[in-house]
C-alpha cells in the first residue's frame, strides 16, 4: 500500500490524483489501485467512458462492470432498494473486497450492467482508491485493469504491460494486498445471498455475519449451466502457455515435466515456497507459502505472468484445498486452465 513519507512524494501523489481525476472528468479511463487488483476506472454515469473501458480491455460488452464508490451516500443514485442482508454485509465488509449485486437504480445505464436489471457495487479498502474516487466526484465503473483474458494486474507494471498506449495513465499505488478479486454476492433475489464469484471475503465469513447459509452459484463447477455472473463464462487469468492443473503428488508432476522435456518442450511448474526446491524444470515459480493461503492469493497473478517471461511451452500447477481463500485461488486456477485438469491415478 502507498505510503507517503516525504514531501516530494506528497506533491507527486497529489499531482497524479489531480491529473487522473481531470481525465475522468473528460470521460477518459484511468487505472487505479485497490486492495484486490488494479481497476480500470471511468465515470459510471458516462456512456462514453464506459465505451472506452470495454475498448481498452478488449472486453465483450455483455460482461457487466463493478461500480466503485467511496461513500455510502453514492449508493442512492445507483441502486433501486437495499435488501436487509445487503445492509448487514455492507456494515461488516465495506470498505473491503466484497461486491454486492443490487436491483439497479434508474440512473444507471445498461452499458454498465450489460443490459441486466441489477448493478454490482463495491467500496474498495484502499486509501488511494478512496481518495481518487472522492476527487473524481462520481462513482467509477471499473473492471480489473488487464487485457481481457489475461491475469488481473496486482502492480502498476502489470497494467503497463497490458494497457500502455491504450489508456492515458495509471495511478501507481504499488503492489495490491489481497491479490485476487473481490467476492461477488447477489443480494437482489429476495432474502437469499448467493456467491457468484469467490474472492477476498470467504463463504465462512459471510455466513458468520449473516447467521444463515450462503448459496454458491453452481456454474463455477458445471460447465454447461449459464452463469449468473456473466464474466464467469469467459476464459480468464490465462498465461500465454497452456496451463494444466494437476491433482497429484510432486513426483507425478515432476514426471510430467520430464515427459514434456523429452518431447522437446520447455516446461514450467507453478508451486509454493515449501515445494520449490523439489522440482527441476525450465521455470519453477512459487506463489506464496502453501500453509498461508492468503500469501498464495497475493502472489498468484504475478506468478502466472512470470511464466510468460520464462517462455515455457507448458505449465503444470499444483492444486489447493477448496476452503477459505482457497476457494478463490482454485476458482482462478481452474479458469486459467480452461478445464485442463489431470488427476494422478489412485490419488
Ligand atoms: O476486486 C475486484 O472486484 C476488481 C477490482 C478492480 O475492484 N474488479 C473486478 O472486475 O474484478 P471485473 O470486471 O474483472 O469482474 C467483475 C465480475 C464479472 O464476473 C462480472 O460478470 C460480474 O462481476 N458482474 C458485474 N455486474 C454484475 C451483475 N449485475 N450481475 C452479475 N454479475 C455481475
Ligand atoms: Mg477481470
How do residues 129-178 score in pLDDT, each as one tens digit? 999 999 999 999 999 999 999 999 999 999 999 999 999 999 999 999 99
Res 11: pLDDT: 53
**For residues 53-85, b (16+ Cβ closer than 10 Å) or e, as one string?**
bbebbebeeebbbbbbbbeeebbeebbeebbeb
Ligand 2 centroid to residue 143 C-alpha, Å: 6
In this predicted structure, the answer to whether residue 73 has a pLDDT above a threshold of 90 is yes
Res 14: pLDDT: 73
Read off the pLDDT band of 244 (50, 70, 90): very high
Q: Which atom of ligand 1 is nearest to the CA of 38?
A: 6
Q: Is 65 in the pocket of ligand 1 (CB under 6 A)?
A: yes
pTM of the model: 0.93
**Average pLDDT estimate for 103-130:** 96
Q: Which atom of ligand 1 is nearest to the CA of 142?
A: 6
CA–CA distances in Å: residue 216 to residues 41, 308, 315: 28, 33, 29
Shortest-distance ligand to the CA of residue 328: 1
Shortest-distance ligand to the CA of residue 95: 1
DSSP 192-229: --EEEE--SS-HHHHHHHHTS--EE-GGGT-SSSPPSS
Ligand 2 centroid to residue 144 C-alpha, Å: 4
In this predicted structure, the answer to whether residue 245 has a pLDDT above a threshold of 90 is yes
C-alpha–C-alpha distance, residues 181 and 38, integer Å: 9
Res 190: pLDDT: 73
Peptide bond preceding 95 in cis form (omega within 30 of 0) = yes
In this predicted structure, the answer to whether residue 120 has a pLDDT above a threshold of 50 is yes
Q: Is 232 in the pocket of ligand 1 (CB under 6 A)?
A: yes
Ligand 1 centroid to residue 63 C-alpha, Å: 8
Grid cell locating 240 = 500465454
Read off the pLDDT band of 7 (50, 70, 90): very low
Residue whose CA lies nearest to ligand 1 atom number 33:
229
Q: How far apart are the first and last CA of the chain?
A: 41
Ligand 1 centroid to residue 184 C-alpha, Å: 7
In this predicted structure, the answer to whether residue 10 has a pLDDT above a threshold of 90 is no
In this predicted structure, the answer to whether residue 5 has a pLDDT above a threshold of 50 is no
**Average pLDDT estimate for 209-216:** 95
Read off the pLDDT band of 257 (50, 70, 90): very high
Ligand 1 centroid to residue 124 C-alpha, Å: 13
Residue % of the chain over a pLDDT of 90: 83
Using an 8 Å Cβ cutoff, are 319 and 333 in contact?
A: yes
Q: Which atom of ligand 1 is nearest to the CA of 229?
A: 32
Q: Which atom of ligand 1 is nearest to the CA of 120?
A: 26
**Average pLDDT estimate for 27-31:** 96
How do residues 175-212 score in pLDDT, each as one tens digit? 999 999 999 999 988 789 999 999 999 999 999 999 99
Residues in the chain: 347
**Average pLDDT estimate for 222-227:** 51
Shortest-distance ligand to the CA of residue 162: 2
Residue whose CA lies nearest to ligand 1 atom number 32:
229
Read off the pLDDT band of 3 (50, 70, 90): very low
Ligand 1 centroid to residue 195 C-alpha, Å: 12
Q: Is 144 in the pocket of ligand 1 (CB under 6 A)?
A: yes
Q: Is 205 in the pocket of ligand 1 (CB under 6 A)?
A: no
Res 59: pLDDT: 87
Res 2: pLDDT: 37
ipTM of the complex: 0.99
In this predicted structure, the answer to whether residue 300 has a pLDDT above a threshold of 50 is yes
Amino acid at each position: 500500500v502507498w505510503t507517503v513519507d516525504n514531501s516530494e512524494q506528497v506533491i507527486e501523489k497529489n499531482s497524479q490524483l489531480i491529473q487522473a481525476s481531470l481525465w475522468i472528468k473528460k470521460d477518459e479511463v484511468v487505472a487505479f489501485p485497490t486492495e484486490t487488483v488494479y481497476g480500470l476506472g471511468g465515470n459510471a454515469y458516462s456512456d462514453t467512458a464506459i465505451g472506452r473501458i470495454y475498448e481498452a480491455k478488449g472486453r465483450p460488452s455483455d460482461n457487466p462492470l463493478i461500480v466503485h464508490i467511496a461513500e455510502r451516500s453514492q449508493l442512492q443514485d445507483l441502486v433501486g432498494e437495499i435488501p436487509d442482508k445487503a445492509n448487514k454485509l455492507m456494515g461488516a465488509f465495506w470498505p473491503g473486497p466484497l461486491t454486492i449485486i443490487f436491483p439497479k437504480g434508474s440512473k444507471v445505464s445498461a452499458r454498465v450492467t450489460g443490459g441486466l436489471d441489477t448493478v454490482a457495487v463495491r467500496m474498495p479498502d484502499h486509501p488511494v482508491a478512496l481518495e481518487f474516487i472522492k476527487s473524481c466526484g462520481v462513482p467509477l465503473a471499473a473492471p480489473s485493469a488487464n487485457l481481457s483474458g489475461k491475469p488481473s494486474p496486482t502492480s502498476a507494471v502489470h497494467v503497463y504491460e497490458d494497457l500502455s498506449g491504450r489508456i492515458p495513465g495509471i495511478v501507481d499505488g504499488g503492489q495490491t494486498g489481497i491479490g485476487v478479486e473481490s467476492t461477488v454476492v447477489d443480494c437482489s433475489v429476495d432474502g437469499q445471498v448467493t456467491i457468484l464469484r469467490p474472492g477476498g471475503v470467504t463463504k465462512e465469513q459471510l455466513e458468520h455475519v449473516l447467521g444463515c447459509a450462503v448459496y454458491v452459484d453452481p456454474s463455477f463447477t458445471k460447465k454447461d449451466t449459464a452463469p449468473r455472473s456473466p464474466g464467469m463464462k469467459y476464459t480468464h487469468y490465462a498465461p500465454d502457455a497452456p496451463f494444466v492443473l494437476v491433482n497429484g503428488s510432486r513426483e507425478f508432476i515432476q514426471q510430467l515435466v520430464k515427459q514434456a522435456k523429452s518431447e522437446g518442450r520447455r516446461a514450467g511448474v507453478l508451486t509454493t515456497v515449501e515445494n520449490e526446491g523439489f522440482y527441476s524444470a525450465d521455470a519453477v515459480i512459487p506463489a506464496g507459502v502453501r500453509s498461508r493461503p492468503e500469501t498464495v492469493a497475493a502472489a498468484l497473478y504475478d506468478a502466472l505472468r512470470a511464466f510468460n517471461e520464462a517462455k515455457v511451452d507448458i505449465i503444470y500447477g499444483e492444486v489447493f484445498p477448496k476452503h477459505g481463500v482457497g476457494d478463490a485461488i482454485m476458482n482462478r486456477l481452474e479458469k486459467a486452465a480452461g478445464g485442463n485438469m489431470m488427476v494422478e491415478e489412485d490419488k
